[in-house]
C-alpha cells in the first residue's frame, strides 16, 4: 500500500518538475533573460515547486508515518 503512494508521489514530482521547467524557461526567455540566467532561475524554481508538491502529497497521504509504523 505504501509503495503505491510513494510511486504516485514521485510521479507527481516528475510531472511538476518537467512542466514547470519548460513553462518557466519559456516565459523567462520571452521576458528577455539570457539563456544562462533563464536556465539557472528555471532550475531553482522548478526544483522548489517539485519538492513542495511532494511534501504536500506525502503529508496528505501520510506516507512516511505509514513507513515508520510498518518498520516498527
List Cα–Cα distances, 71 to 32, 53, 59, 65, 66, in angstroms. 52, 25, 18, 10, 9
What is the model's pTM?
0.74
Q: Note the pLDDT tens digit of each residue in 9-45.
A: 788 889 999 999 999 999 999 999 999 999 999 999 9
CA–CA distance, 30 with 65 (Å, rounded to integer): 43
CA–CA distance, 39 with 51 (Å, rounded to integer): 18
Amino acid at each position: 500500500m505504501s509503495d503505491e503512494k510513494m510511486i504516485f508521489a514521485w510521479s507527481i514530482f516528475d510531472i511538476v518538475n518537467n512542466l514547470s521547467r519548460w513553462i518557466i524557461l519559456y516565459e523567462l526567455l520571452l521576458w528577455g533573460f539570457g539563456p544562462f540566467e533563464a536556465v539557472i532561475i528555471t532550475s531553482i524554481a522548478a526544483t522548489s515547486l517539485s519538492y513542495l508538491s511532494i511534501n504536500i502529497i506525502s503529508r496528505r497521504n501520510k506516507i512516511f508515518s505509514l513507513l515508520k509504523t510498518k518498520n516498527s
